Amino acid sequence: MGLFITEVRPRWSDMDAYGHVNHANTVTLLEEARVALLFTEAARQGADGMARGVVVARLVVEYFVPLVADGTPVRVAMSVREMRHAAFILDYQVYSGQSDDQVAVTAQTLLVPYDTASGRPRRLTENERDFLAAYRSGSNGA
């Protein structure tokens, strides 16, 4: 597979005084895309454990062109760059709704599976590792 592609729709309320989606709302759009992969698609493929708890340990966002809320969705392509026993890195490419081939935003999150009952990080299960492996973009990690 390599890439998981989904669409998210910026809202008019996401825009700031400069007429583009502000940083906090961009991060929320990334979260919506991540939920589509790690909760919805993972559950569909039998790896529903992440829906019980995954936390963002690090977030990096780079902007190339502004995102705007013009009523059209933006496309988000995600891949797993690195996978460890108890963490993984998810890469994002957000394509502007105005130009389907122009990357507007890139981002990466370091994600940690989390046991909400114990309040502690946990290891990825075999099912979760298999699910994530299908979206690997590189050869880093174990």
pLDDT band, residue 71 (cuts 50/70/90): confident
**pLDDT > 70 fraction of the chain, expressed in percent and rounded:** 93
pLDDT band, residue 99 (cuts 50/70/90): low
* pLDDT (tens digit per residue) in 19-56: 889 999 999 999 999 999 999 999 999 898 888 899 99
Task: Determine the Cα–Cα distance for residues 36 and 25; give it in Å rounded to an integer.
Answer: 17
pLDDT of res. 1: 58
The tokens for 56 are 């963002």
> Which CATH number describes the domain made up of 4-133?
3.10.129.10
Task: Determine the Cα–Cα distance for residues 42 and 128; give it in Å rounded to an integer.
Answer: 8
Give residue 84's Cα distance to chain centre: 17
Query: What is the mean pLDDT of the segment spanning 119-135?
Result: 95
pLDDT of res. 98: 60
Instruction: Classify residue 71 by its DSSP letter.
Output: S
pLDDT of res. 138: 59
pLDDT of res. 142: 38
List the chain domain ranges: 4-133
pLDDT of res. 100: 65
pLDDT of res. 34: 97
Query: What is the mean pLDDT of the segment spanning 99-117?
Result: 90
* C-alpha closest to that of 69 among 19, 24, 5: 19
pLDDT band, residue 16 (cuts 50/70/90): confident
Structure pTM?
A: 0.90
